[in-house]
A and B are shown apart, each in its own frame.
Chain A
Amino acid sequence: AQSVTQLDSQVPVFEEAPVELRCNYSSSVSVYLFWYVQYPNQGLQLLLKYLSGSTLVKGINGFEAEFNKSQTSFHLRKPSVHISDTAEYFCAVSAGTYKYIFGTGTRLKVLA
């Protein structure tokens, strides 16, 4: 079975500052990893995904994430955030079956 832990429920950060949202997972098999963003009253939109290959993955809106197998982590980063990045961010894993396991989410609040 797989599980996902997002260590921070809320992250406040000033505009133009860097941010890191943490995600750790556990699994006895190889997994595929995803970050989604959810704006208020919207569905989830894919930011980026790791399926295989390079451990540094670049996504939309200037976000990137690094897959670290030894630390079972997949942290999301952005070097300079904007007010418009304020949203809920979800990390998810899949072992290649039907099931996606989501973390509890991290609320990013960008302050002016």
Chain B
Amino acid sequence: EADIYQTPRYLVIGTGKKITLECSQTMGHDKMYWYQQDPGMELHLIHYSYGVNSTEKGDLSSESTVSRIRTEHFPLTLESARPSHTSQYLCASSEQGRTEAFFGQGTRLTVV
């Protein structure tokens, strides 16, 4: 059973608001990831981290930012939400690329 948690599960928010999506894992994994997934579509990597104080942008350009101050915590922030940000956001972690990634339950964000 994977121990990676995302909050909130669902969020409806107005345009222009600042939001932070939380992701925490208790497995001590160094690598963490944020994926964006539109309904019924593939996953797109938007951010990843090798460890504390290490963050990189992924393959899909995103207006969001991330931070990694603690190993277990990898929050994603949108400074000013827009309807185009409406999507599902999936957080994942892995011990290293040679093993599987573990996924959280996801946050479904709707910006109105």
Indicate which residue in A43, A49, A98 contacts B104 across the interface (CB closer than 8 Å).
A43
Question: Of B33, B50, B97, which contacts A96 at CB under 8 A?
Answer: B97
Given contacts A88-B40, A98-B31, A104-B42, is CB(A44)–CB(B97) below 8 Å? no
Query: Which of B40, B43, B45, B48 is most buried by chain A, counting CB atoms within 10 A of its CB?
Result: B43
Q: How far is the CA of A32 from the CA of B40 in the complex (A)?
A: 25
Interfacial chain A residues near B100, Cβ < 8 Å: 34, 46, 49
Chain A interface residue count, Cβ-Cβ cutoff 8 angstroms: 26
* The residue from A88, A97, A100 contacting B101, defined by CB atoms under 8 A apart: A100
Residues of A within 8 A of B48 (CB): 98-99
Contacts of B21 in A (CB 8 A): none
A94 touching B105 by the CB < 8 A rule? no
Give chain B interface residues in 53-112, CB to chain A under 8 Å.
90, 92, 94, 96-106, 108
B41: Cβ under 8 A from any A Cβ: yes
* Residue from B50, B99, B103 in contact with A51 in the complex, judged by beta carbons closer than 8 Å: B99
Closest 5 pairs (CB-CB, A-B)? A43-B103, A44-B103, A104-B42, A97-B97, A96-B97
| Interface, chain A (partner B; CB < 8 A) | 32, 34, 36, 41-46, 49, 51, 88, 90, 92, 94-100, 102-105, 107
